[in-house]
Amino acid sequence: MSNSRGRLILIEGLDRTGKTTQCTLINKNLNFDYYKFPNRETPIGKIINEYLTQNMKLCDQSIHLLFSSNRWELQNEIKTKLDAGIDCILDRYVYSGLAYSAAKNIKGMDLDWCLQPDIGLLKPDLTIFLTNDSFNNNEGFGEEIYENTKFQNDVKNIFVNKIFTTNFENVDYLNEHFKNINVTGLNIEEVYKVIVDIIDNFKIANDEYLYF
């Protein structure tokens, strides 16, 4: 039996692991609609961009809520596409929101607090997590807030040891809806091949949506 709704697939990961490159290829070659978060074009996204480019200061709780709000802004559009049978690829989403905010280690902003504003958002049918063994500080790195090696290591630790574990995410989701790819030493084409293979073989069980 084939499904009538589109698949919602997320590429998550650290900065500079090639998420945007891969999503662009998937959008072009596999006919997925592409949603990148943060979307810096919306009214809220413009404020987020000011924060990331260090032109505006915001308190940690406020920027966290704006990132979530930015996902909510696009939710109806994504749901409409999926309902119409269109596959959608996400470039970062809720897990980035959790990992970058929790890595700040602010009292009261634990993972449970961070997740609250995202409760009720569509959950990806499949999350593909790109990791690397080390950060190469390639061109452009260091211009935005969060782009420093110490912080990236803290974010990685939260992703790997806190979020994508059965202490936080449920075991069925991790078994059936989650794939880890270590991209260390792989070029763009090699990573793309692995991803296409995963996507081609991934079918949703039924038309029910998953939600956070």
Contact positions vs Mg ion (CB under 5 A): 15
Q: Alpha-carbon distance 123 to 102, whole Å?
A: 20
Residues 45-104 binding ligand NYM (CB under 6 A) are 52, 67, 92, 96-97, 100
The CA-CA-CA angle for residues 205, 127, 40, to 5°, reads: 125
Greatest Cα pair distance, the chain, in angstroms, is 52
Any contact of residue 38 with ligand NYM (CB under 6 A)? yes
Any contact of residue 154 with ligand NYM (CB under 6 A)? no
Reference 19, options 130, 155, 101, 98; nearest CA is 130
Question: Which CB, 141 or 173, lies closer to ligand NYM?
Answer: 141
Nearest approach in angstroms of CB 72 to ligand NYM is 12
Reference 103, options 40, 161, 50; nearest CA is 161
Residue 97 binds which of Mg ion, ligand NYM, none (CB < 5-8 A, kind-dependent):
ligand NYM
Q: How many residues bind ligand NYM (CB under 6 A)?
A: 10
Q: Alpha-carbon distance 67 to 118, whole Å?
A: 10
Question: Which CB, 5 or 115, lies closer to ligand NYM?
Answer: 115
Q: Alpha-carbon distance 209 to 7, whole Å?
A: 9
Nearest approach in angstroms of CB 30 to ligand NYM is 20
Question: Which CB, 65 or 199, lies closer to ligand NYM?
Answer: 65
Using the rule CB under 6 A, which residue among 37, 129, 159, 164 binds ligand NYM?
37
Interaction mask 99-138, ligand NYM, x per CB under 6 A: -x--------------------------------------
Residue 38 binds which of ligand NYM, Mg ion, none (CB < 5-8 A, kind-dependent):
ligand NYM
Any contact of residue 32 with ligand NYM (CB under 6 A)? no
Using the rule CB under 6 A, which residue among 7, 9, 15, 26 binds ligand NYM?
15
Contact positions vs ligand NYM (CB under 6 A): 15, 37-38, 52, 67, 92, 96-97, 100, 146
